[in-house]
Structure formats: structure tokens, C-alpha cells
């Protein structure tokens, strides 16, 4: 449900560790929410990352519908567990524009691209050792770099390649319509 995606994303980050699974990203009791219904899409965002252990700070403020964070910095195997499209959708609905992880579970990576909700980016360095929740980051998609704003340190990201235009179009079906692979929707 996103429009044009920015080339540079700047904002505070939310840091999570290794093996964050889809039940932690969006607990199963919220899977009855239908992302194509605008009110339910927003509500889905309000529950994003609500399954994390108590030692994590709140991702969405109590009673809020959106997170103050724009980026998630994660360890390895982000999005493991059951296959659910709701996971990247919930993060996107909460206002997350990109997740930068050491690695992803294949299904989360594919669902993030297919839905077009956020950029699933990888960095070969363990960024969870550099950033703390609330630190500011600047993500430059053209240069394929993420910078820690306070220290100025920059880290190269792995290219998204042919997946980037799919995310930028708003997901697989939007990309297929835009490129003429399938017929455009008629009003």
C-alpha cells in the first residue's frame, strides 16, 4: 500500500537480534486482519513486533498506530519461522521503509519483495554491534550504503538487483502491471 519509494531513507532505527521469527514480527492472533482493508492495514501496523521478548523497548507506542522508527537493524536469519505475508506488511504498515539484516529467512525476503512494503537489505557486517535502538541512520539506495549518522561510519549493502524495481513499484503485481506483464487494472 505504499506509493513511490524514496532513494534516501533517514531516521531512527530499531535494533533486534538474531532469529527474529514471524511470530515475533506479527503474532498469530492478528492474522485475521485483512491488509487490503485500510483500517485493518493500519491496525496490523500497530501490532508489528509486539511478539518480541519483554527486554525490547516498545516498537509502537502504547495506543499508537505507527512506529517512530523508519528502519530496522537486525542480526542473522530475520523473518524465520512460518511463511506469512503479514510480517513485512505489518512492518510497512507501522512505517518501516527498510530492514537491514545480516541475513534473512528466504520466505521473509521473498514476501518483502512480493508485497513491496519495504526494502529487505543485507549487510555483510554485523550492524547490531554498531547501532542501538534510537540511533539515527541514513540509507542511500543509489550508493548501496547505510551510514551511522552520529559516527559517520558507512557500511556497504548487498545490491538488491532486479528485486529493487519490484519493491519500488509497490510489489509484484504492481510491477507486473507497470511493465505490461499483466493488464493494468481498469477503474
Which candidate, 139, 3, 24, places its Cα nearest to that of 70?
139
The answer to whether residue 173 sits within a structural domain is yes
- Cβ proximity of 93 and 118 under 8 Å: no
Residue 132, all three cell numbers: 542501538
Q: Is residue 154 part of a domain?
A: yes
pLDDT digits (tens, 9 = 90+) for 69-124: 999 999 999 999 988 899 999 999 999 999 999 999 999 999 999 999 999 999 99
Distance of CA 59 to the CA centre of its chain: 13
Considering the domain boundaries, does residue 162 fall inside one? Answer: yes
Tally of domains within the chain = 1
pLDDT digits (tens, 9 = 90+) for 135-169: 999 999 999 999 999 999 999 999 999 999 999 99
Range of the domain at 29: 8-178
Residue 106 to residue 108: CA distance in whole angstroms: 6
44 in a structural domain: yes
Residue 117 lies in a domain: yes
Amino acid at each position: 500500500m505504499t506509493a513511490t519509494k524514496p532513494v534516501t531513507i533517514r531516521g531512527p532505527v530499531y535494533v533486534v537480534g538474531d532469529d527474529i521469527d514471524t511470530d515475533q514480527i506479527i503474532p498469530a492472533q492478528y492474522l485475521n486482519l485483512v491488509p487490503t482493508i485500510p483500517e485493518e492495514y493500519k491496525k496490523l501496523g500497530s501490532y508489528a513486533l509486539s511478539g518480541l521478548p519483554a527486554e525490547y523497548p516498545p516498537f509502537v507506542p502504547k495506543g499508537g498506530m505507527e512506529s517512530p522508527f523508519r528502519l530496522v537493524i537486525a542480526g542473522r536469519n530475520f523473518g524465520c519461522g512460518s511463511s506469512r505475508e503479514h510480517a513485512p506488511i505489518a512492518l510497512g504498515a507501522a512505517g518501516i521503509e527498510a530492514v537491514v539484516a545480516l541475513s534473512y529467512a528466504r520466505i521473509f525476503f521473498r514476501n518483502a519483495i512480493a508485497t513491496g512494503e519495504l526494502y529487505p537489505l543485507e549487510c555483510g557486517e554485523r550492524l547490531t554491534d554498531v547501532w542501538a535502538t534510537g540511533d539515527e541512520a541514513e540509507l542511500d539506495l543509489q550508493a548501496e550504503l547505510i551510514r551511522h549518522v552520529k559516527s559517520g561510519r558507512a557500511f556497504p549493502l548487498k545490491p538488491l538487483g532486479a528485486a529493487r524495481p519490484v519493491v519500488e513499484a509497490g510489489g509484484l503485481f504492481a510491477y507486473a502491471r507497470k511493465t505490461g506483464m499483466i493488464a493494468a487494472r481498469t477503474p
